[in-house]
Amino acid sequence: MIAQIYFSVFATLALACALYLLVARHPLYGALSLIGTMLSLAGIYSLLSAPFLGVVQVLTYAGAIMMLVVFVIMVLNSSHDHVVPRFDSRGFILLLVPAVLSACLLYVLHTTHPLVDAGAIQGSAEAVSIQLFNTSQQGSGAWILFEFIGLLLLAAMVSAVVLAKKHLDKKDCV
């Protein structure tokens, strides 16, 4: 009974923070609401008997990555940019793309059997690491996703710095 109450609290908090992220007018408030979402997800992982995933969620996403995001926002945010533009009609149409991809992912997950064993679902660090970083032919190949995500985050950060520098250089010329 108490686990259901905690799950409801964490789920409600995660949804509220995620919705505020969509409507936040200042990027820093959006980043703080994303941190709230990540912490709520860590609480849900802990309730699902996966303490390792909960700790990794806090240390990696709510800690390191969000600290980097907040640092980039604070450094690159010029004094004239105080608000993020609202959604327009094109934004709502483009929102359909991740919705369709999520529906396809849920369909595939529903129709196939899980790729992880029961030990990895329970969240023991050894079982998770063996399943994720198995580089043999029978392995899931999930380790390569970590490499791609790292490269994607690096490219996004470099692109943001380059775009912000061009934006700041144009203001200096005027």
Domains of the chain: 1-86 (1.20.120.1200)
At residue 119, the pLDDT reads 47
- Would you state the pLDDT for residue 158? 79
Residue-level pLDDT, tens digit, the chain, 174 residues: 888 899 999 999 999 999 998 888 777 788 888 889 989 998 998 888 888 888 888 888 777 777 777 777 766 665 455 555 566 677 777 778 778 877 877 777 677 655 544 444 556 667 767 777 777 777 666 667 777 777 777 777 777 777 777 666 565 554
Reading the block at residue 156, the tokens are 């996004």
Instruction: Return the axis-axis angle of helices 66-76 and 142-173, rounded to nearest 10°.
Output: 10
The model's pTM = 0.52
The DSSP string of 59-95 is IIIIIIIHHHHHHHHHHH--TT---PPPP-HHHHHHT
The pLDDT value recorded for residue 86 is 64
User: Count of CB atoms within 10 A of residue 108's CB?
Assistant: 9
At residue 120, the pLDDT reads: 46
Instruction: State the amino acid at position 96 in one-letter form.
Output: L
DSSP 8-state code for residue 49: T
Distance of alpha carbon 138 from alpha carbon 100, whole angstroms: 30
Residue 17 pLDDT? 92
CA distance 75 to 70: 9
Q: What is the pLDDT of residue 15?
A: 94
